Every structure is written in structure tokens, then in C-alpha cells.
Amino acid sequence: MRKYFITGLLVLVPLAITAWVLNLVIGTLDQSLLLVPKGWQPSTHIPGLGAIITLAIVFVTGLLANNLVGNYVVRLWERLLHRIPVVNSIYGSVKQVSDTLFSSSGNAFRKAVLIPYPHENCYTIAFLTGVPGGDVKNYLVGDYVSVYVPTTPNPTSGFFLMLERSRVVELDMSVDAALKYIVSMGVVAPADPTPQAAAARIAAHTG
């Protein structure tokens, strides 16, 4: 009896969570219908219609921005935004982050690492994002790196930390595998590295 119940949970829980996430995403995208004039809105609500319209708008925008005229218009629009106080700082920051995350050449998460957090005797997985810059690096004595510590099970929120490189252990684990490990709260463990690779990494870190 217990065996069949657990088997049923293993089948239905992933399906239920997937359906819930899809419903949340589609429901959020459906809000784009509010931007359509009331006269053009359908008399009856059609689930998913707003999501289709949103995806179509994103695709058409990308298509237009990739040709010569569209690229020129985008540059003019960005110049205008950069001339508006307050807006320029917000738009510039968001633009840099989105370029890093979504561009094909972006490198938001360079490496999965192991760091002591939130205290010395407790460890978590983080992602290497770069090195401290600006005036910050003038106050950090030594070799420091920047890392992002995601929360579980929602990795889109987290903490930005700067740690000494000697306290950061690079893992023989892809970024995708590390994200799955975090989202699953440690249930879906990545494949073990070969004994030779593991021994080499441990020796390099301790040496």
C-alpha cells in the first residue's frame, strides 16, 4: 500500500508542479491583454491568448531590431533614454544585466563553486560571476572574487558576496547541473567526477 502511494506521488508531484509553474507563467503573460484597447479585446477570456501575443511581440521586436533600420531605431531610443535623469541609471543597469544573462555571448555564471556560507562550518553552492570592480577593489586587500549565492528552490533570488579566492573551491560540475542540484534542494545530485579528477582538484585546493 505505502509503496503504491509513494510511486503515485513520484509520478504526480512533478506533473503538478510543472502545471503550476506553467499556469503561473501563462497567467502572468496573459496580463499583456490589458495593454490592448478594450475594443480589440475578445469578449470572452481565452486562456493563453495573452501569452501568445506577448511571445509574438518579443519575436517581432527581435526580428525588427536585427535589421539595419531596426538597429538604428533601437540605438536612437537608447540615446534618448540615456539623456533622461534617473531613467538613464535604471535603464543602463538593467540593460547591462540583461545583456549578460540573455545574450548568446553572455557569461553570467562562469563556474559552480563551493563556499563557506552562512558561516565557516557550513557550505553552499554558489556561482562565480567575476571579480570586484570600481572603488570596491581598493578596499579589499588580496585576491578576491565575486560570487552569487542562489536561494532554494527559487534560484532567481539570492545574495551577492565577495570572498577571498583561497576560500572558493571550483567544482567539477556544470552550471546546469549545479542549478538542478539547488532547485531540487539537494535531491537531484550531479554525477560523481572521476576519482582522478577529484583527487587532482583536492590536491590543487589544499596545495
Report the C-alpha gap between 28 and 58 in whole angstroms: 15
Q: How far is CA 192 from the centre of its chain?
A: 24
Model confidence pLDDT, tens digit, residues 57-72: 777 777 777 777 677 7
The cell for 28 is 502572468
- For residue 77 the three cell numbers come to 531610443
Measure CA of the first residue to CA of the last residue in the chain; give whole Å: 53
Report the 10 Å Cβ neighbour count for 154: 10
| pLDDT score for 195 | 60
Give the lowest-confidence range in 40-49, 66-75, 76-85, 179-188.
40-49
Q: What is the pLDDT of residues 150-164, one digit of tens each?
A: 888 777 788 999 999
**Structural domain boundaries in the chain:** 2-102, 111-206
pLDDT at res. 8 = 76
